[in-house]
C-alpha cells in the first residue's frame, strides 16, 4: 500500500511536469518554430545556394552616391600618427564620446603602445573612433573634455556624424578610410569595441608568425556563417525587408574584434566605395564588401563572441579577445601579464590538465558564450 502510494505520487509528479512542459512549448511554439525555421532556411541558403550575386546588383551605387556615406569632416585627427615607421598593427577602438573611463583603462592596459614596444618589440598604434554625441545639450561640454583628453593622449579620431548604434557603418567607413589615407603601410588592421579585452601579447605573437610566412589575404575573427537577418522589430539588430530581403547574411565576423591584413583592408575599403552603406550593421556590411571582393573569413576559436572569458590560466594562454570587460580590465591585465601568476609547463601533463579544464568551462550547453567547445581541443 505504502509503496503504491509513493509510486502514485512519483507518477503524478511526472505527469504534472510533462503537462506544464508541454503547455510551455505549446504557448511558445510559434516563437520556437519561427526561430528554428528561420535558421534552417538561412543555413540552407548559405550551404546549398551560397550565391550572393544579388549583392552586386542590389548594393552597387555610383561612386558619387557611395562617397556620400563617407565624406564626413574630421573634427579631431592625427594624420601623422603612423608616420613612416614600420607598424605591425593598427587598432581602432570604437568608443563613445562620454566613455572617458573606458578609454583610460585601455590606454593603461592592453592598449599601451609603449608597453608593447618595450616588452614585445613591435610598434602598434591604438586609436579611438568617435562621432558626435547624440544629445545636443551635452555636446558642448563633452567637446571641451574631448579636446583636453586629445591634447594629452593624441589618439582620438572624430568625424562629424552623430554617434549612434544606427550609424555604426559610418564609423566603419571612418576606420577604413583613415587607414587608407594615413596608415596604409601598417601590416594589420584591427577593429574592436571599448568593452573588449585584447590579450595583446598572444595576438602579437600570432600576427608575427603570420607576418613571417605570408601576411596576405587574412581576415580573422569569430566567423558567423549563415546568420539570418533579425526581423523582430523590437531588436536593435532589426533589419527591414527593404534594406536586406534575403534569407541569410554573407559570412562575417562580429564587430567586437577582427583583424585584416593590409591588402584585405584596402580591398574592403575599395569595395565600400562602390556600395550603398545604409545597412547599419557594420560587421555585416563588412561581410558584404568582402563578398564582393571574394574574400572569406578565417575562424579563430579564441576570438570571443558575446561573452566574457573565464578567469583561468588555461584560457589566458590562448585567448585573443574577450567581450564585456569594463571594471575588471585592470585586474585581468594584471593577471595575464604577471609572469608568476600563470606558470605552466608545456609538458603532456599540463596540456591534458588544461584540456580537461577547458572542457569543463566551455563544453556546457547554453552556458558558455565566450569560446566554443572545440576551443578545448586546440
Ligand atoms: C560582381 O561584379 C564584379 C564586376 O562588376 C565581378 O568582378 C565580381 O566577380 C562579381 N561578384 C560576384 C560575387 O558575383
Ligand atoms: C547618422 O549621422 C548623420 C550625420 O550626422 C545624421 O544625419 C543621422 O541622423 C544619423 N543617423 C542616425 C540613425 O543616428
Ligand atoms: C540605399 O539603400 C536604402 C535602403 O535599402 C534605400 O532606401 C536607398 O534608396 C538606397 N540608396 C541608393 C542610392 O540606392
Q: In the prediction, which pLDDT does 27 show?
A: 65
The closest ligand to the CA of 241 turns out to be: 3
3-class secondary structure, 329: helix
Nearest ligand to the C-alpha atom of residue 73: 2
Give yes or no for residue 56 CB within 6 A of ligand 1. Answer: yes
Confidence of residue 304 (pLDDT cuts 50, 70, 90): confident
CA of 261 to the centre of ligand 2 (A): 30
Instruction: Choose between 232 and 103: higher pLDDT.
Output: 103
Q: Is 67 in the pocket of ligand 3 (CB under 6 A)?
A: no
Ligand nearest to the CA of 166: 2
Rounded average pLDDT over 243-257:
92
Across all residues in the chain, what is the average pLDDT?
A: 90
Q: What is the mean pLDDT of residues 291-302?
A: 94
Phi and psi angles of residue 286, each rounded to the nearest 5 degrees, phi first: -60, -40
The alpha carbon of 260 and the centre of ligand 1 are apart by a number of angstroms equal to 21
Is the pLDDT confidence value at 31 over 70? no
Q: CA-CA distance, 340 to 337, in Å (whole number)?
A: 9
Per the model's pLDDT, the better-predicted residue between 213 and 281 turns out to be 281
For the stretch 57-99, pLDDT in tens is 889 999 999 999 988 999 999 999 999 889 999 999 999 999 9
What is the predicted pLDDT for the residue at 30? Answer: 63
The answer to whether 87 and 183 have CB atoms below 8 angstroms apart is yes
Which is nearest to 119 in space by CA: 205, 192, 183, 2?
A: 205
pLDDT surpassing 60 at residue 2: no
Residues in Cβ contact with 167 at an 8 Å cutoff, skipping those fewer than 6 apart: 131, 161, 280
Torsion angle (degrees, nearest 10) of CA 13, 18, 21, 26: -140
Q: State in Å: Cα 273 to ligand 3 middle.
A: 15
CA 18 centroid distance within chain:
41
The pLDDT of residue 187:
96
| H/E stretch holding 94 | strand 89-94
Give the nearest ligand 3 atom to 62 CA: 13
| pLDDT tens figures, 137-192 | 999 999 999 999 999 999 999 999 999 999 999 999 999 999 999 999 999 999 99
Backbone angles phi, psi at 234, to 5 degrees: -85, -10
- Counting from 1 in the atom list of ligand 1, the atom nearest the Cα of 51 is 13
Distance (angstroms) between ligand 2 centre and the Cα of 286 equals 19
User: Which pLDDT belongs to residue 47?
Assistant: 79
25 pLDDT higher than 70:
no
Cα of 269 from ligand 3 centre, angstroms: 19
Mutate to test the pocket of ligand 3, among 278, 279, 284, 285 (most ligand atoms within 8 A of CB): 278
Note the pLDDT tens digit of each residue in 52-61: 778 878 899 9
Q: Which atom of ligand 1 is nearest to the CA of 291?
A: 13
| Confidence band, pLDDT 50/70/90 cuts, at residue 214 | confident
The structural domains of the chain, ordered by start, are 63-299 (3.90.550), 313-377 (no CATH)
**For residue 32, what pLDDT is reported?**
65
What is the number of residues in the chain? 378
Nearest CA to ligand 2 atom 14: 164
The binding-site residues of ligand 2, defined as CB within 6 angstroms of any ligand atom, are 161-162, 164, 166-167
pLDDT over 70 (residue 6): no
Q: What percent of the chain has pLDDT over 70?
A: 93
Q: φ, ψ for residue 148 (rounded to 5)?
A: -65, -45
Amino acid at each position: 500500500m505504502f509503496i503504491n502510494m509513493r509510486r502514485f505520487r512519483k507518477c503524478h509528479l511526472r505527469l504534472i511536469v510533462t503537462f506544464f512542459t508541454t503547455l510551455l512549448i505549446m504557448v511558445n511554439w510559434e516563437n520556437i518554430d519561427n526561430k528554428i525555421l528561420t535558421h534552417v532556411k538561412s543555413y540552407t541558403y548559405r550551404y546549398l545556394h551560397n550565391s550572393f550575386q544579388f549583392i552586386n546588383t542590389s548594393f552597387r551605387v555610383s561612386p558619387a552616391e557611395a562617397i556620400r556615406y563617407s565624406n564626413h569632416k574630421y573634427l579631431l585627427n592625427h594624420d601623422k600618427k603612423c608616420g613612416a615607421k614600420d607598424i605591425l598593427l593598427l587598432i581602432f577602438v570604437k568608443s563613445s564620446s562620454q566613455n572617458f573611463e573606458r578609454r583610460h583603462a585601455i590606454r593603461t592596459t592592453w592598449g599601451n603602445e609603449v608597453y608593447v614596444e618595450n616588452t614585445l618589440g613591435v610598434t602598434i598604434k591604438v586609436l579611438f573612433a568617435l562621432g558626435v554625441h547624440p544629445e545636443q545639450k551635452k555636446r558642448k561640454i563633452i567637446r571641451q573634455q574631448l579636446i583636453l583628453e586629445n591634447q594629452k593622449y593624441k589618439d582620438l579620431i572624430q568625424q562629424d556624424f552623430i554617434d549612434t548604434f544606427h550609424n555604426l557603418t559610418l564609423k566603419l567607413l571612418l576606420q577604413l578610410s583613415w587607414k587608407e589615407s594615413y596608415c596604409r603601410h601598417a601590416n594589420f588592421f584591427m577593429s574592436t569595441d571599448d568593452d573588449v579585452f585584447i590579450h595583446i601579447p598572444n595576438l602579437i605573437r600570432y600576427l608575427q608568425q603570420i607576418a613571417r610566412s605570408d601576411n596576405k589575404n587574412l581576415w580573422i575573427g569569430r566567423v558567423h556563417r549563415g546568420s539570418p537577418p533579425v526581423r523582430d522589430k523590437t531588436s536593435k539588430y532589426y533589419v527591414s525587408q527593404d534594406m536586406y530581403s534575403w534569407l541569410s547574411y554573407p559570412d562575417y565576423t562580429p564587430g567586437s574584434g577582427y583583424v585584416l591584413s593590409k591588402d584585405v583592408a584596402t580591398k574592403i575599403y575599395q569595395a565600400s566605395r562602390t556600395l550603398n552603406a545604409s545597412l547599419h550593421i557594420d560587421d555585416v556590411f563588412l561581410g558584404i564588401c568582402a563578398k564582393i571582393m571574394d574574400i572569406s573569413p578565417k575562424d579563430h576559436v579564441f576570438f570571443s563572441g558575446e561573452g566574457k572569458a573565464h578567469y583561468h590560466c588555461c584560457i589566458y594562454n590562448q585567448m585573443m579577445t574577450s567581450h564585456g570587460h569594463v571594471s575588471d580590465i585592470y585586474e585581468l591585465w594584471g593577471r595575464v601579464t604577471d609572469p608568476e601568476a600563470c606558470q605552466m609547463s608545456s609538458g603532456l601533463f599540463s596540456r591534458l590538465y588544461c584540456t580537461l579544464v577547458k572542457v569543463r568551462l566551455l563544453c556546457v550547453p547554453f552556458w558558455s558564450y565566450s569560446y566554443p567547445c572545440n576551443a578545448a581541443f586546440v
